Amino acid sequence: MKDAVSAALRERVRSRAYGVCEYCLIHQRQAWYSHQIDHIISRKHGGRTTFDNLALACGICNNAKGSDLGSLTRRQAVLIRFYHPRNDRWAEHFRLNDDGVIDPITEIGEVTCRIFGFNARERLLERRALLRAGDFPSIEALALMRE
Ligand SMILES: [Zn+2]
């Protein structure tokens, strides 16, 4: 395939993210399916297969995002882009509450949280179980959040 992600590039992306989904922060070892390589700006919209345009995403986040770049805010129906793992800092757009809920704190956070389904029931139950086990956020996710 013309624009395929090479094994070496995949490994660099995985390594940069410490094996953590760069959107919902679940670690690869905590997920049922292998994390995927996401084109932050999808190829459909001209995004290239370059290190800076790739992110590590869990299957749920990647499927929910699809080729979308953003969505409309609930209140004013204004088009807002999604969280961009290369240009944005996670903690500036989201807050992880003690009960496992990921709360958006910006409009970028709001559209990302809603479209990606961060707080869907099953995902919240899983996150709460990991919280109780003391494994969320993982040490790798904390490192990612600090960058
Ligand atoms: Zn995810």
Domain spans in the chain, listed from the N-terminal domain onward: 7-146
Q: What is the pLDDT of residues 63-114, one digit of tens each?
A: 999 999 999 998 889 999 999 999 999 999 999 999 999 999 999 999 999 9
Say if residues 93 and 83 touch (Cβ distance below 8 Å).
yes
Distance 113 CA to ligand 1 centre (A): 10
The first and second tokens of residue 34, run together, are: 């292998």
Q: What is the pLDDT of residues 67-80, one digit of tens each?
A: 999 999 988 899 99
Number of Cβ within 10 Å of residue 71's Cβ equals 19
Q: What is the pLDDT of residues 2-37, one digit of tens each?
A: 568 999 999 999 999 999 999 999 999 999 899 999
Distance 116 CA to ligand 1 centre (A): 8
Distance 68 CA to ligand 1 centre (A): 15
For 66, residues 6+ apart whose C-beta sits below 8 A from its C-beta are 42
Distance 28 CA to ligand 1 centre (A): 10
Q: Which helix (H) or strand (E) holds 94?
A: strand 94-96
Distance 40 CA to ligand 1 centre (A): 13
